[in-house]
Homo-oligomer: A and B are copies of this chain.
Amino acid sequence: MPSARVHRISANAPDDFSGLEAAIDAGAIDPASIIAIFGKTEGNGLVNDFSRALAVEALRRLLHGHLADLAVRAVCTVMSGGTEGGMAPHWLVFERRPGDAEDFPGAALAVGRAHTTQLPTEHLGRIDQARMVAEGVATAMKDAGITNADDVHFVQIKCPLLTAKRIRKAEASGKNVVIRDTLKSMGWSRGASAIGVGPALGEIDHALVTEGSILNDRSLWSARASASAGIELLSHEIVVLGMSSAWSGPLAIDHTVMADGIDVGPVRDTLARLGADPGQPSHKGKVVGLLAKAEASTDGILRGSRHTMNDDSDISSTRHARAFVAGALGAVISHAELFVSGGAEHQGPDGGGPVAIIVQREKLCP
Contacts and interface: CB of A to CB of B under 8 A. Distances in A.
A33 interface: no
A327 interface: yes
Given A12-B165, A61-B57, A164-B310, A262 B331 contact: yes
Contacts of A319: 315
Given A12-B165, A44-B313, A87 B307 contact: yes
Contacts of A184: 181, 184
Interface string A263-305: 1100000000000000000000000000000001011111111
Contacts of A262: 86, 327, 330-331, 334-336
Contacts of A50: 14, 43, 50-51, 54
A347 to B, nearest CB: 18
A138 interface: no
A42 B320 CA distance: 13
Contacts of A116: none
A36 to B, nearest CB: 22
Q: Taking the full assembly, how many copies of this chain does it contain?
A: 4
A87 B312 CA distance: 13
Contact of A314 (B44, B88, B298, B323): B44
Contacts of A89: 306, 308
Contacts of A235: none
Given A42-B308, A85-B321, A327-B262, A48 B313 contact: yes
A314 to B, nearest CB: 5
Contact of A309 (B85, B308, B315): B85
Contact of A326 (B168, B231, B312, B324): B324
Nearest to A258: B331
A314 B311 CA distance: 15
A168 B311 CA distance: 13
Given A164-B299, A326-B327, A327-B261, A308 B57 contact: no
Nearest to A41: B50
Given A57-B54, A315-B84, A180 B298 contact: yes
Interface in A116-152: none
A54 B230 CA distance: 15
Nearest to A45: B313
A336 B300 CA distance: 13
A10 B167 CA distance: 18
Contact of A307 (B47, B88, B310): B88
A264 B12 contact: no
A156 interface: no
Contacts of A335: 262, 302-305
A263 B336 CA distance: 12
A261 B330 CA distance: 9
18 contacts: A42-B308, A42-B311, A46-B313, A47-B312, A48-B314, A50-B51, A83-B308, A86-B261, A86-B320, A87-B307, A88-B302, A165-B306, A167-B300, A264-B331, A305-B335, A314-B314, A327-B329, A328-B328
Interface of A: 10-15, 42-44, 46-51, 53-54, 57-58, 61, 83-90, 163-165, 167-168, 180-184, 231, 260-264, 296, 298-316, 319-321, 323-332, 334-337
